[in-house]
Every structure is written in structure tokens, then in C-alpha cells.
Amino acid sequence: METFKKDIGHGNHGRHGFWASNLKRNRFNLFYLCLTVFIISCNSKTEATVDPDVYYTCSMDPQVVENKPGSCPICKMDLTPVQKKKGEKKDELQLSDQQIKLGNIHTDTIRNGSLGDTRVLPATLNFDQNKVTAVSARIMGRVEKLYHKNIGDFIPAGAPLYELYSEELNNAKQEYLLALDKQRTFRDEMSINMGQLVESAANKLLLWGMTEKQLQELASTKKATPLTRFFSPAAGTLIGLDINEGDYVMEGSTVVRLADMGTVWAEAQVYASQLADMDMNSVASVQLPDLGNRVLQGRMEFINPEINADSRINLIRITLPNVNGQLKPGMPAYVLLKSPERNTLSLPIDAVIRDGKGATVWILAGPNTFKSRMVTTGLESDDRIEIVAGLKENDIVVLSGAYLLHSEYVFKKGSDPMEAHNH
């Protein structure tokens, strides 16, 4: 009986220990559960209290922008907190007075003004082909003597050029002398017919290049020389000598070429797309680097009506006066063509940011607030550029510091301001 009580007592004691152990375990689980809930609530509270006026970016990769601290996914550096400007819109950029001063950012009101385009075309001086004289042989023969053999010699009008031996020409001289002799012999009986015969023989000699003075000498001396001297029909510089002494020339072949250097041509090449802005007979300036960048005024007198199908390049010519003979064919030159000025909006070239996507400028959108705006550009003249579209008169535009604003926007916003325009 006592043994049975002991067993019962031991049983109660064991059952009591079992419940005590479970109670302790439950209390630990409850504590762990409360701790977990507390941590989660703290984290939720921390996330809920993230400052909306602060964003986080990477100094090495400014395109990375996060609303909470962490590491840069590109370079793994810690993100840097940046305070957002109050009232700053997504496409705007606000700067402090100190930042504007340090960035040398200046603005001005855009207004209409005169703007003209100047095109600079490389050119080369050439002979004025309208004043080039080609002296040709009018009859076949052998050149016995040349009076000028050096290219560049100046030959006055009427100066002797060469002497020619020609059997055909000598026979014509004899016919002329015979006709004169018959005219004197039959002065009364056949004066009319003889006169016509003399005139026909004289015209043949004149047609073959002899002068009136040579005919008079031939008639007075009554002696035909075997060599006939030919003279220059015009004054000019010798630019071509196609024969040598002893050579035979054919009828119509060129003997010498002379150029009047009183005027020269400046020949320049232009693209077909530029022809629409050029006017015939317009005044053009030609700059000569070999003469100390001397600038001469000339007139455009020719535009080639045919365009090269392969290069899409055309030729223009400007006639220049060569008063002192300083202009030499072959000299390099630059043709400056200035289009008529027109009233339009324009900005300094540095105020416009251009890339493959387009052109933008920065305008003043409010106190210390700047905004990027896309524009369409036109003519460029010196340091000015025309604004065709995107701005209107009296807009306040950033003239200097536009590239600094662009960089600051990329750093703070983490994107290119051009992307907003593309969207």
C-alpha cells in the first residue's frame, strides 16, 4: 500500500515537472515572438520615417538614384545623401546664390537682332579664260625662229612671235606680185579685171596671217622673202608654248597662248546644298593667305550649271582685279560669301548644348531655378547662332555656364535633361 502511494506520489511529481517544463518553453517562445515583432515594427518604423526630401546617389555614378541608403550597384561604394530642393520640380534645377556665383552663370533676355551667314570656301586663283588668246597657225609650214621661248614673258600687241617657211605661202606671194605687175601693164585695157585679181591675191595673204604693212612692203620691194614673220594679235603673258624651232605646224594648230593678267579668277567648290543661298553677280570677298591675308572684293560671275553626280560638288568663279600684277594663278585663296542679314533670334554659340540628339538651352524658370529647353538652330555667324524654334522674344536664357548646369543636373537627377525632351 505504501509502495503504491509512493508510486502515485512519484507520478504526480513527474506530471508536475512536465507541465513546468512546458511552461518555461512557452514563456521563451513568447519572448522570442515579442522580440521578433518588436524588431520588425522597428524596421517598419524606420522605413516609414525615410526623409522624402533626401535621396541617395553615387559620386562616381551619378545616374544611380535611390530613396534609401545603401551601396552603388555599379562601383559598390556607399551612396551619398543629397538634400532635395524644396519646391524643385522634376525637370528643374535649383541652385544657391553661391553656386550661381561660383559657376559663373549669367543670363540675359533674348531679343531679335540682325544675323548674317558667312561661308568660307577654299579656292584657287586661275587665269581669266575670257582673256586668254590662242595664236594658231593659219597655214602649214616649218617654224624657223621663235622670238619668245620663256613661259611668263610679257608680249606686247604687235610684237613678232615666230617666222615660218611655207611653200604655199611663198607661192601666194608670187601670185600677188604677178597680179600687181599685170595691173600696171594692162592699166587701161583690163583695169577692172586686174583690180579684182590683185584684191583676191591680197585677201588670200591676209587670210593666211600677213598684215597690211607686210603687203605694202611686198608691193614696194617686189621681192618675196622665203620666211614670213607673224605678229602677236594681242598683249599678254606667255602661258603656253606648244612648238619648238624646226617643228612643222599644221593649219589651225596652236602655236602660243597668251593671257591678259589684268583680271584673274578665284575658283571655289561648293556643295549642291549650298547653291540655294548663292546669288549670281553678288559681291564676294576673297582672302589671300600668301599676301598677308589680304582681302579683295570681286564679283561672282559664273556658277557651273552641271553638278558632279559622284561628289555632289559644283564650281563657282569670282573675278578679281589684278592691278599690280601680284595675283598669280595657282595661289590658294578663301572665298567669303556673306548672305543678306535678317532679323532673327540669336544666342552665343556657347549657350547652346548640341549632341547627336538635338540642341538645348537653359532658361531661367524662377528665382535661382533653371530649366532645360530643346531648340532648333539655324545660321551660324562668327560666335552667334540662330534660334529658329523653341524660344520666344523676352525669354531669359543662360548665356554662360550652360554646360555646368547640364553636369549638375546629371549629378543630382541621375539622368540627362535631353531624355525628358525625347519622351
Count of domains in the chain?
3
Summarize pLDDT for 319-345 with one digit per residue, the tens. Answer: 999 988 889 999 999 988 776 677 888
Same domain, 209 and 142: yes
**At residue 19, does pLDDT exceed 50?**
no
% of the chain surpassing 70 pLDDT: 76
Whether residue 378 is contained in a domain is answered as yes
List the domain range (segments joined by +) for residue 301: 263-338
Same domain, 184 and 235: yes
Whether residue 78 is contained in a domain is answered as no
**At residue 281, does pLDDT exceed 80?**
no
Same domain, 167 and 245: yes
Summarize pLDDT for 87-129 with one digit per residue, the tens. Answer: 556 677 887 787 788 888 888 888 887 776 677 889 999 999 8
Whether residue 30 is contained in a domain is answered as no
Whether residue 186 is contained in a domain is answered as yes
Q: What is the mean pLDDT of residues 33-51?
A: 52
Same domain, 97 and 111: yes
Last residue of a domain, one of 338, 364, 379: 338
Least confident of 21-30, 80-89, 257-266, 368-377: 21-30
Whole-number pLDDT of residue 55 = 72
Summarize pLDDT for 178-222 with one digit per residue, the tens. Answer: 888 887 776 655 555 677 888 899 999 999 999 999 999 999 998
Summarize pLDDT for 77-90 with one digit per residue, the tens. Answer: 888 877 665 555 66
Whether residue 45 is contained in a domain is answered as no
Whole-number pLDDT of residue 378 = 80
The C-alpha cell of 46 is what? 524606420
Give this prediction's pTM. Answer: 0.53
**At residue 149, does pLDDT exceed 60?**
yes
Same domain, 270 and 282: yes
**At residue 404, does pLDDT exceed 90?**
no
Same domain, 320 and 298: yes
Last residue of a domain, one of 283, 303, 338: 338
User: Residue 1's pLDDT band (boundaries 50, 70, 90)?
Assistant: very low
Whole-number pLDDT of residue 137 = 93
Q: Where residue 354 sits, what CATH number does that domain have?
A: 2.40.420.20
Q: What is the mean pLDDT of residues 158-180?
A: 93
Q: Where residue 285 sits, what CATH number does that domain have?
A: 2.40.30.170
